[in-house]
Amino acid sequence: MATYLGFDSSTQGLTATVIEITEHQRRIVFERALAFDAEFPEYGTTHGVLVSGEGGHTVTAPPAMWAAALDRMAGILAASELDLAQIRAVAGSGQQHGSVYLAAGAAAILRGLDPDRPLVQQIDTLFARPVSPVWMDSSTTAECERLTEALGGDAALARLTGSRAYERFTAAQIRKFASVDPHAYARTDRIHLVSSFMASLLAGRHAPMEPGDASGMNLMDLAARRWSPEALEATAPELARRLPPIHDSWSVIGEIAPYWRRRYGFGPAAIIPWSGDNPSSLVGLGLIAPGTLGISLGTSDTVFGAIAEPAHDPGGAGHVFGSPAGGYMALTCFANGSLARERVRDRHGLDWDGFSAALRHTPAGNGGGFMTPWFVPEITPPVADAGPRLHGLEGADPSRLVRAIVEAQAMAMRLHSRWIAPRPATILATGGAAANRDVLQVIADVFDAEVVRGATRNSASLGAALRAYHAERRAEGQLLPWAEIVAGFTAPEAELRIRPNPANVAVYATLLPEYEAFEAGARASSA
């Protein structure tokens, strides 16, 4: 029997998925999530992050908390029915863009972890910076301007790295850190992404990055899949020696470190480079070939798909990343995903059943009422000042406000993903909010496409487990096609298919240009 383990270290929690693959069976045998706020209150996070600064633009998280979660999850795995000695390979997925700053001496600490003491007690001196800026941070507009200038403008930077400069992307974050705290930057020996930091803990040594997550930094030459000397130069002094190398997504870093073997009973499992959560979801949804769109409804909402060649978003709001399955993927990210849905739900004292009932009891189009979903600063379209804008919803009851937020999110997704797939026939849905079929119905109607949901909502950690399987087989000389890797786990095994309702499709066909104009007006008035 062969089993493979995938983790997902996301904004709000850590998930682990174990898959079993035998000649006759392919199934998920373990799936468990730990929520950071509830499980690790000592770190004081809200929704997994620490917000500070004027306008709430500075958003960080303590990397020690992510390490503590990995340690606790390993304990849960060890206490489960699973035989950890059977796990052949481990990979993971991390929230994208977040950076972890390690001090000189980190390599020795990683190498010498003592299996008799909990991980967090041994990593006090690991960090040159106790917090990590994460993807929700929008405090680096000035740094983005400098980078854009130095690298020849938005279009040139997008051609080189796959994206124009973005506040949350790692280059702008590193640039800010190096100039605001030069002493701490000087003490920084290695800068990791969340993904490569977590892989380093498992491998007991500095892990490489891989092209899927490294392309979320504005630092990688997307075509060559290596660091761009110009981008590094424009970002911070002596950056090249502080970054890990970029290896293939399917390379093997080494065996899991003795700490994990002795403390929890792992066998000699291979550690595979971790990727970003969206690239991992691409694999977990089985989106290997172009044509189908994936939508992940998590803390952020993202729309993505595999693409054959790196196309660029003419609207400038999208990204091209390397796909961990080879080739490329296109993605548009909305900061106001689940946080915005939860704000509306909580403000009106509803639970998720009440939220769904509100959607069922209100008509498509909401009687012409609109709301932009910008409860926190938005990434797509870029809006710095948080605060939803309302139109035609004066005195509206809670159920219309619920419909307004869900319709706005779905229409924004449609408008800003036209560059990826103008008319997708099928959308694969994942993420926590994909549990809600009434939300998925709105998406089906707005896109005029069938929405399909697989058996798990944790596509990022499933994708990581599938990547572990692929890489381990490859290392053993068995080059399996991706279709065979994902078979039995992804879309064709759909648990739910939602067809668009033709009457609602007609309503949204009229509404979409109206929402587009409303969104443009709301942005202009906030600029």
Total number of residues binding ligand XUL (CB under 6 A)?
A: 14
Residue 504 is encoded by which pair of tokens? 């609602």
Report how far residue 168's alpha carbon sits from residue 251's, in angstroms, rounded to the nearest whole number: 27
Least distance to ligand XUL from the beta carbon of 218, Å?
A: 12
Strands 87-94 and 58-61: unpaired
Site string for ligand XUL, 276-305 (x = CB under 6 A): xxx---------------------x-x---
**Pairing between strand 226-227 and 220-221?**
antiparallel
Residue 300 Cβ, how far from ligand XUL at the closest point, in Å? 4
What H or E segment, with its residue span, contains residue 111? helix 106-111
Closest CA to 263 of 73, 442, 512: 73
Pick from 127, 235, 215, 97: which is nearest to 174 by CA?
235
Answer for the pair 5, 472: CB distance below 8 angstroms, yes or no. Answer: no
Give whichever of 113 and 209 is closer to ligand XUL, judged by the CB atom: 209
Residue selected from 9, 11, 409, 458 as contacting ligand XUL according to rule CB under 6 A: 11
- Residue 86 DSSP one-character state: G
Stretch that binds ligand XUL, among 41-49, 54-62, 226-234, 271-279 (CB under 6 A): 271-279
3-state helix, strand, coil in the chain (%, to 5): 40, 20, 35
255 vs 277, beta carbon nearer ligand XUL: 277
The H or E element containing residue 142 is: helix 141-150
- Residues in 473-502 that interact with ligand XUL by CB under 6 A: none
Angle made by CA atoms 393, 395, 396, in degrees to the nearest 5:
55
The tokens describing 362, both together, are 């209100």
Residue 323 main-chain phi, psi, to 5 deg: -90, 135
User: Of 151, 325, 304, which Cα lies nearest the Cα of 143?
Assistant: 151
Tell me if residue 94 falls in helix, strand or coil: strand
Tell the smallest beta-carbon distance from residue 459 to ligand XUL (Å). Answer: 12
CB 421 to ligand XUL: min, Å? 18
Q: Which stretch binds ligand XUL (CB under 6 A): 51-59, 64-72, 273-281, 491-499?
A: 273-281
Q: Of residues 47, 57, 88, 97, which one binds ligand XUL by CB under 6 A?
A: 97
What's the min distance (Å) between Cβ of 60 and ligand XUL?
14
Please state the closest distance from residue 414 (CB atom) to ligand XUL, in A.
Answer: 18
The piece of 68-76, 90-98, 137-145, 236-244 that touches ligand XUL (CB under 6 A) is 90-98
Per-residue contact string for residues 216-245; x = within reach of ligand XUL by CB under 6 A:
x-----------------------------
The answer to the question of residue 10 lying near ligand XUL (CB under 6 A) is yes
Judged by CB under 6 A, the chain residues 326 through 345 that form the site for ligand XUL are 333
Task: Judge contact between 449 and 509, C-beta under 8 A.
Answer: no
Site for ligand XUL in 124-143 (CB under 6 A): 135
Binding part of the chain for ligand XUL, among 39-47, 92-100, 184-192, 388-396 by CB under 6 A, reads 92-100
Instruction: Tell me the two tokens of residue 482.
Output: 């991706």
Name the residue nearer to ligand XUL (CB basis): 277 or 313. 277
Shortest reach from residue 162's CB to ligand XUL, in Å: 11
Torsion angle of the four alpha carbons 96, 101, 105, 110, in this order, in degrees rounded to the nearest 10 = -20
Closest approach of Cβ 231 to ligand XUL, in Å? 17
Among 15, 17, 45, 96, binds ligand XUL (CB under 6 A): 96
Which is nearest to 98 in space by CA: 234, 195, 13?
195
Nearer to ligand XUL, 317 or 468 (CB): 317
How near is the Cβ of 134 to ligand XUL at its closest, in Å? 8
Q: Which is nearer to ligand XUL, 137 or 407 (CB)?
A: 137
Only one of the segments 93-101, 177-185, 352-360, 495-503 lies at the binding site for ligand XUL (rule: CB under 6 A); that segment is 93-101
Shortest distance in whole angstroms from residue 10 CB to ligand XUL:
5
Q: Output 270 or 415, the one with its CB closest to ligand XUL.
A: 415
Select from 95, 99, 430, 490 the one that contacts ligand XUL (CB under 6 A).
95
Closest listed residue to residue 288, CA positions, set 329, 242, 340: 329
Q: Taking contact as CB under 6 A, which single stretch among the options 78-86, 94-102, 183-191, 391-399 is the one that binds ligand XUL? A: 94-102
Show the tokens assigned to 259: 């700490």
208 residue type, one letter = P
d(CA 147, CA 164): 9
- 3-class secondary-structure state, position 27: strand
Q: Could you tell me if 200 and 110 are in contact, meaning their C-beta atoms sit under 8 angstroms apart?
A: yes
E strand segments, 201-311: 220-221, 226-227, 254-255, 270-271, 275-276, 293-297, 301-307
State which residue, 33 or 350, has the beta carbon closest to ligand XUL: 33
Residue with smaller CB distance to ligand XUL, 65 or 511: 65
Residue ranges binding ligand XUL (CB under 6 A)? 10-11, 95-97, 135, 168, 216, 276-278, 300, 302, 333
